[in-house]
Structure 1
Amino acid sequence: MTLRIGFLGYRFMGRAHANALARLPMFFPDTPETERRILIGRDEAALDDAADRLGFTETATGWRDAIDDVDVFYNLAPNFLHAEPAIEALDAGVHVLCEKPLADSLDDAERMATAARESDATAAVAFNYRFLPAVARAKRLVEAGKLGEIRAFRGRYLQDWLVDPTAPWSWRLDADLAGSGALGDLGAHTLDLARYFVGDVTRVSGHTRTFVDERPDPEGDGTQSVTVDDATTAQLAFENGATGTVEVSRVAPGRKNDHRIELDGTEGALRWSLERPNELLVRWPDSRGFERELVTEADDPYADHWWPPGHVLGWEHAVVHENYEFLRAIAADDPYDPDFEAGLAVQRLLDAVQRAAADGGWVEP
């Protein structure tokens, strides 16, 4: 079986997923064969160049006609374009991988999840950090009870690309196009890992802040308003009684892509940072402090597909592993996680944090 692939979008995540598809036959030979069939975008000149670089045989400037010619549809477009293409693809029986957050609003996320429930196709949301070996090993430790009962989750995701007030405006700074700012862009990943490791969240509080209200128009035509958060903090109450804190910011000086999580349990604790993605810091009951584990051994998640022990992996490998699991699930007709239900659960938390920030209290998702 050869799966015909269509991409809506060809910039950052388009390159990342095309790279993953190119790597899979070399390192994961049991992956179903794929054909990069159609690349979809609006700028024809840029589209033709991108198709050559990313290995697509055809291009299209509209997504509706392209859906009829593919088996798998990757929605890598801005958030406001997630719902309609994904729903139409699922209605047509086409498998979908949608970038996070699932949508720009809770209403759209609910419509997308409904379409996924009613379709026989696989619907995946791209929470790719689940597929880094160290994160996957941490999940194994938690599931095996090595940390005991989880009492606390702490997560933060910090970047600095908006520290400069003259940094140009983009669609990510418009609430109508993105839904939220740092909260949805970064916090979606952190909230997904919170649920992945600890479980359902019963209530949240939140505080959002926009530090720069206007930014230069990228076309040089004055300024445009910023209508999303630059930074957000939130507290979480989990169903199992654990506590949680989340901090996200795109105005944190010196933090390029600093995603960190910590878990405290009754028998141990662990810490992980995307800036050191191959390492886990683990504290066991008989140790005085955290011990470093390098997650590159052949028996670590995914590590046997790559290099000898100690030869580390990077950010892009999470996307390779994500694509492997997604395409393998399609071929085997197996369930895939994280699916649109996981995406909807995170969208409910994003919405709840925004409502809590507006109300000044705790709210239920």
Structure 2
Amino acid sequence: MTTTQARTGTLNVGMIGYGFMGAAHSHAWRNAHRFFDLPLTPQLRTLAGRTESALVAAAERYGFEQITTRWQDVVEDPEIDVIDICTPGDTHYEIAMAALAAGKHVLCEKPLANSVEQSEEMTAAAAAARAQGARSICGFSYRRTPALAYARQLISEGAVGEIRQIRAQYLQDWLSDAESPMTWRLDKDKAGSGALGDIGAHIIDLTQWLTGQRISSVSGTLETVIPTRPAAGTAQGLGGKGDASAERQDVTVDDLALFTARFDSGVLGSFEASRMAQGRKNAMRVEINGADGSIAFDFERMNELEVYDATATAGRQGFTRILTTEPEHPYAANWWPTGHGLGYEHTFTHQIADLVTAIGEGVDPSPSFEEALQVQHVLAAVEASSNNGSGWTTIDPTTTTTPDTNTPGTTTEETSR
């Protein structure tokens, strides 16, 4: 009987949180080494959460070896190598600071924290831990969409020429029903902000990453479209959906964020983040317009990229649809034959593959906490502009980070399908 040889080593994972992001991250940790040639093999060691009964079920479903209701146990365990933080934003700071102080590698979901001040402390702690070999990354997973990684490559090669305009939207409708119950994502103390921080953060990060430019000032407006919601458990339970007698709670975050941004090159960008857009399930759209062409993307068609070449001869101009499933496209070579598309979950697998590769090679992964901090400054500036009615709000240039120069999908380009 032939036995499979072990990899060079293992990477023991401790995950805190087991909800939506916990499921996505667990899937990625389980599968990354099966499709990518990684220097270390992830092992799902410990899952932490608040409710033991739900935790037991989640650990069995996700494949973790053990559980704990104290996240501190995971951080203090000398056998744990990396801490994966999948909890609401109000807990990121305390967990990440403890994990970095313990010398652990850290993957923290976005946004980095609920305030600029906490994000700055986390970034400083990450820098100190980096000097001791601990790596940290913020979970802006959409960067790992093959079509977007390819778009970045094309832009850097000059496909659109001088960039003249940037536009981005992130549209969802899951909160458009006024009788949908209250959730932690609608509580500012837990979530930090609403549509702005939850989904707007992604398009802020993406436009900066795609173009290599940074947002320097913003002018924005935030709106809470539905000011109260049925308390959790009443909309479908005690009060029933639409029952005026059901207890209602105040929504303390925005449902809709609209803002204009000026990038450090002087280019203008327009941004829209909404959870009120009926019919839009996960329409994250980005379009970059330049002197020589345009690139457009919509995540609801995540395996496609539209490219317009303005230098083409008359009669041959028009957007070209590129199906980004060829082995030449970032990440795609490690998956299925050409034309067999990828899904949302693959972005997380790519994130883990890149993180584990960086840890194994002793290099810093991206997006770093520094990059995530810059996004936090943009979020804060948009909120300040809206609250103060002050028009343009400048972002401190000292917070601007050097654009990431790592080639996306390098782990895939070096391995075979």
Q: TM-score range by the shorter chain?
A: over 0.9
Count of residue correspondences? 365
| Alignment pair present for 1:116 and 2:126 | yes
For residues 384 and 55 of structure 2, the distance between their equivalents in structure 1, rounded to whole angstroms, comes to 39
For residues 236 and 145 of structure 1, the distance between their equivalents in structure 2, rounded to whole angstroms, comes to 22
Deviating above 6 A after TM superposition, structure 1's stretches of 4 or more consecutive aligned residues are none
TM-score, L = length of structure 1: 0.98
In the other structure, the counterpart of 1:222 is: 247
How far did residue 31 of structure 1 move? 4.7
Bigger Cα displacement from structure 2, 45-54 vs 284-293: 284-293
Cα deviations by residue, 1:294-316 (Å, 9 ceiling, x for unpaired): 11111111111011111111111
In the other structure, the counterpart of 2:238 is: none
| Alignment pair present for 1:200 and 2:230 | no
In the other structure, the counterpart of 1:231 is: 256
In the other structure, the counterpart of 2:139 is: 126
| Alignment pair present for 1:93 and 2:107 | no
How far did residue 25 of structure 1 move? 2.5
Bigger Cα displacement from structure 2, 75-84 vs 282-291: 282-291
Kept in 2: contact 1:102–1:347 (CA 8 A): yes
What secondary structure is seen at the aligned counterpart in 2 of 1:148? coil
Amino acid in structure 2 at the alignment position of 1:263: I
The higher radius of gyration belongs to 2
How far did residue 68 of structure 1 move? 2.1
Amino acid in structure 2 at the alignment position of 1:192: D
For residues 204 and 139 of structure 2, the distance between their equivalents in structure 1, rounded to whole angstroms, comes to 13
Amino acid in structure 2 at the alignment position of 1:149: E
Kept in 2: contact 1:202–1:238 (CA 8 A): yes
In the other structure, the counterpart of 1:209 is: 223
| Alignment pair present for 1:276 and 2:301 | yes
Kept in 2: contact 1:181–1:229 (CA 8 A): yes
Kept in 2: contact 1:5–1:71 (CA 8 A): yes
| Alignment pair present for 1:358 and 2:368 | no
Task: Structure 1 unaligned segments of length 5 or more: list them.
Answer: none
For residues 45 and 157 of structure 1, the distance between their equivalents in structure 2, rounded to whole angstroms, comes to 35
TM-score, L = length of structure 2: 0.86
In the other structure, the counterpart of 1:262 is: 287
CA RMSD of aligned residues (A): 1.0
The 5-angstrom pairing of residues 3-42 of structure 1 reads: 3-42=11-50
In the other structure, the counterpart of 1:81 is: 91
In the other structure, the counterpart of 1:346 is: 375
Kept in 1: contact 2:48–2:68 (CA 8 A): yes
For residues 175 and 15 of structure 1, the distance between their equivalents in structure 2, rounded to whole angstroms, comes to 24
Amino acid in structure 2 at the alignment position of 1:42: R
Amino acid in structure 1 at the alignment position of 2:173: D
In the other structure, the counterpart of 2:243 is: none
For residues 64 and 376 of structure 2, the distance between their equivalents in structure 1, rounded to whole angstroms, comes to 32
| Alignment pair present for 1:244 and 2:274 | no
How far did residue 91 of structure 1 move? 1.0
1:302 to 323, 327, 331: 331
Task: Structure 2 unaligned segments of length 5 or more: list them.
Answer: 1-8, 235-245, 396-417
In the other structure, the counterpart of 1:46 is: 54
For residues 263 and 88 of structure 2, the distance between their equivalents in structure 1, rounded to whole angstroms, comes to 30
Kept in 2: contact 1:24–1:31 (CA 8 A): no
For residues 119 and 23 of structure 1, the distance between their equivalents in structure 2, rounded to whole angstroms, comes to 28
